[in-house]
Amino acid sequence: MPRPAADSPFPGMDPYLEDAGRWRGFHVSFLTHLVEELNGGLPEPYTADLEETVDLVELDAPSFREALPDANVTRGSTPASAQTAVIVPYRAAREPVLLAHPPAQEVKHRWVEVRTAPDRELVAVIELLSPTNKRAGRADYLAKRRALMAQTIHLIEIDLLLEGARLPMDQPLPAGDYFALISRADHRPFADTYSWAMREPLPPVPVPLRTPDPDHWIDLQPVFAHTYRGNAYRRKLDYGKPPRVKLAELDQTWLAGIVAAAGVRA
């Protein structure tokens, strides 16, 4: 008989998932389960759907390759003969210097939309940030963010990543490792900001609907647990070594104790 999938050893978000080789699958699965939970609980006439676009992102530095877990196809690769700029000695008529354009990768961007049925009026957008949103594709994401907030729709942004630049706000974010920002269409420029530590479960967060309907609350921890079990991450993740993300010494000690107590290994 197949072994039942096990839960994460951590009480909330698992920092081992913040690996470039695992995040893409986690991102897709988490949003898929989020849509299922929403459609199981949203009142009429609301429904939720997973949406997707494909963007071409230029890599500004080799290190950004690790920040592109959503990347599928690389385009514009540099021929070996053009890897280094060819500088021609100065002559009376200057010759051009051969330079290569920055390499680019196709990146799939996925998000959740809450709409009314059957007219499909857009009510809210839910974003689960990816490393691309916080590094190589940050400018593109912030441009999309501004465009969304210029409309009369609600924006929910969930950041389950320890690394990368945080979402810009006019005041400093509260203390925390992870964040959820609820930007209501009728309350901007303010956003309800939820924060929690790596040692805490993921919280419930509100999904605003049309006035006068009350918020629909979605508990992120069961969505995460479903995602973790459904993808058998207990067997896939290498708990025999420290996670890729940089942690404070106290967090490293806590994490090592959790892993040892759970008896998980590579």
Candidate from 74-83, 110-119, 178-187, 216-225 with smallest mean pLDDT: 74-83
For residues 219 and 34, give the distance between their C-alpha atoms in angstroms, rounded to a whole number. Answer: 9
pLDDT confidence bin for 59, thresholds 50/70/90: low
User: What integer pLDDT is reported at residue 1 of this predicted model?
Assistant: 45
Is the pLDDT at 54 greater than 90? The verdict is: no
Candidate from 11-15, 42-46, 93-97 with smallest mean pLDDT: 93-97
Rounded to 10 degrees, the C-alpha dihedral 141/147/152/155 comes to 10
Write down the pTM of the prediction: 0.82
Tokens of 226: 């479903």
